[in-house]
Amino acid sequence: MNSSRGSEMLKGFKELYSRDQLLTMTGILHVLVFFCMVSLIFMDSRLLLGINIWIKPMKFALSIAVYTLTLAVIMKYVRNRAIQKIVSYITSIGFILEMIIIIFQAAQGKKSHFNFDTPLDITIFSIMGVIIGIVTIALIILFIHLVRNKIDLPHHYALALKSGLFISIVGALIGGYMSSHSKHTVNGDDGGPGLFVLNWSTLVGDWRVAHFFGLHALQCIPLLTFILTNKLHNEKSKTRVTWAISILYASFVLFTFIEAAYGKPLIKT
């Protein structure tokens, strides 16, 4: 059984690698970083804003790993080689730089985001903003390309992919909106009581909720589409279900954004 699972994993890795080598290796790198951060949590007890300093790098490493490996899957459907390279290189280099900065600041016991304590901290945060802005532009380029060209997938899967990409772009823009306010909470200061590991505020509004669910629409909508349409046989029915999933998911992201804007937490304790 273990040998079979190992063989399947190796086969999956080879498939991803054949679709986009750079994105695949970036994803695997961040999986390794994730486990390193988990180890550091047990070795270093320093706190920042009430939580272990390595929790944030851990979360970012996992999120980046999922994001880049998902893009590697999508690259099979990108017909333009130049666009594939642009998206792959910008995304990979951008996230590696972002991760280095987050780890660098965490090692010093400092915030990486919304840190205006020193000129260096301000410069670092500004650089991160530029990096993520460029990565978001690359995602928009990918979205436009896939909308303008036929995707070699059943219609409902193609729809799930496009809607997931669109909402992910919205999620990235929410991150920019947070940056414009220099904080992620509303009606309170960053830090304080929050949900386990995620640390979303349980006292006041927190835009990170909408940011998170928006960004990961790229994984959630296709996955939900697969689960909920798997037993259906009519393509029109599958497409209707996919539209319903996309609209409901987008509505949930909008709801969490508005709730945060009014200073209300997703879950109050």
Dihedral angle computed from the Cα positions of residues 9, 12, 17 and 19, in that order, rounded to the nearest 10 degrees: -170
Residues 84, 21: Cα–Cα separation, whole Å: 11
Residues 85, 114: Cα–Cα separation, whole Å: 31
Q: What is the mean pLDDT of residues 6-35?
A: 87
Residues 215, 266: Cα–Cα separation, whole Å: 17
pLDDT for the residue numbered 6: 65
At 218-258, the pLDDT tens digits run 999 999 999 999 888 889 999 999 999 999 999 999 999 99
At 144-175, the pLDDT tens digits run 999 998 888 999 999 999 999 999 999 999 98
pLDDT for the residue numbered 3: 62
Residue 202: which of 118, 133, 113, 269 has the closest Cα? 269
At 118-145, the pLDDT tens digits run 999 999 999 999 999 999 999 999 999 9
Q: Does the pLDDT value for residue 213 go beyond 70? A: yes
3-state secondary structure (DSSP) of residue 266: coil
How would you classify residue 201: left for phi > 0, otherwise alpha for psi between -120 and 50, otherwise beta? beta
Residue 210: which of 178, 183, 245 has the closest Cα? 178
If 0-12 CB within 10 Å is exposed, 13-18 middle and 19+ buried, where does residue 2 land? exposed
- The residues pairing with 206 across neighbouring beta strands, listed in sequence order, are 185
CA-CA-CA-CA torsion sign (169, 140, 238, 154): negative
pLDDT range class, residue 2, cuts 50, 70, 90: low
For a pLDDT cut of 70, what percent of the chain falls above it? 97
Q: Does the pLDDT value for residue 12 go beyond 80? A: no
